[in-house]
Amino acid sequence: MNTMKLYNFWRSGTSHRTRIALNLKGLDTEYVAVHLAKEEHLKDEFKAVNPQQLVPALHTGSEVLIQSPAIIEWLEEKYPTPALLPRDPQRRAQVRALAAIVGCDIHPINNRRILEYLRKNMGADEDAINAWCGTWITAGFDAYEALLAADAQRGRFSHGDAPTLADCYLVPQIESARRFKVDLSRWPLILGVEQACMALEAFQRAAPGQQPDAVA
């Protein structure tokens, strides 16, 4: 079996969530760094891997998969144990909804290309960037925290007592929130989930600072 290759960037939230999922599944990949700050993703070499020129991309050994939600869903279907989704359809929907708060409503409007546009075309300084990101992180995390509080079946993680798809999405967004100087103290349940996650090797190994291309 060919070793899978993960094209990613150490500080990319979508790369981070994909690394977590791979680690939870116990899968090893060859780490292929694509340096976004040096715009390596815009070069023809990477465009041949992913025409969208975004990370992550996963070469499975036979084909390339793009878009982190699709990659993680493929991992769940191809390698169903340990499961990242509950068996009950309603609970699966709830976990997917938590993941979507991050994946659809927070991260896309805070990602690098949006922020670079704000800097270059709208004259936004770093205070404005932090305020922009903080607005959408706060809105999403307020909803996430409320859903955790309302879930009578919730355990140590976003759902139950084992990590799920939702946690793969949440932890990188917490990392990003800290980078944009968001005060996380207003979300104690979210911080509790993070603590449970970061006690696991899968999350520790996926952390941005642990990657070979990390910059201090």
Q: Give me the mean pLDDT over the 110-138 stretch.
A: 97
Tell the CATH superfamily of the 4-82 domain: Glutaredoxin (3.40.30.10)
Side-chain-side CA neighbours of 100 within 13 Å: the count stands at 7
What is the Cα–Cα distance from 199 to 93, expressed in whole angstroms? 26
- In the chain, list all ranges with CATH 1.20.1050.10: 89-203
Tokens of residue 85, six digits: 């989704």
- 177 exposed, middle or buried (CB, 10 Å; 0-12, 13-18, 19+)? buried
pLDDT digits (tens, 9 = 90+) for 68-95: 999 999 999 999 999 999 999 999 999 9
Domain 89-203: CATH architecture, name and number where available: Up-down Bundle (1.20)
Backbone angles phi, psi at 60, to 5 degrees: -80, -10
pLDDT digits (tens, 9 = 90+) for 5-45: 999 999 999 999 999 999 999 999 999 999 998 999 999 99
Tokens of residue 100, six digits: 């979507």
Of all residues in the chain, the percent with pLDDT exceeding 70 is 99
What is the Cα–Cα distance from 46 to 51, expressed in whole angstroms? 8
- Give the helix/strand (H/E) hosting 126: helix 126-150
- In the chain, list all ranges with CATH 3.40.30.10: 4-82
Give residue 215's pLDDT: 87
- 30 exposed, middle or buried (CB, 10 Å; 0-12, 13-18, 19+)? exposed
Give residue 1's pLDDT: 53
Tokens of residue 111, six digits: 């990602």
Give residue 61's pLDDT: 94
- Looking at the chain, list the stretches that DSSP marks H as alpha helix, in order from N- to C-terminal side: 13-24, 44-47, 68-78, 89-100, 112-122, 126-150, 165-179, 188-198, 201-206
Q: Between the CA of residue 76 and those of 50, 64, 122, 145, 168, what are the distances in Å?
A: 22, 16, 40, 25, 12
Dihedral Cα 43, 48, 50, 53, nearest 10 deg: 20
Q: Between the CA of residue 33 and those of 11, 36, 57, what are the distances in Å?
A: 11, 9, 11
| Residue 176 CB coordination number (10 Å) | 22
Report which of 30, 35, 29, 27 is spatially closest to residue 11, judged by C-alpha positions. Answer: 35
Give residue 216's pLDDT: 65
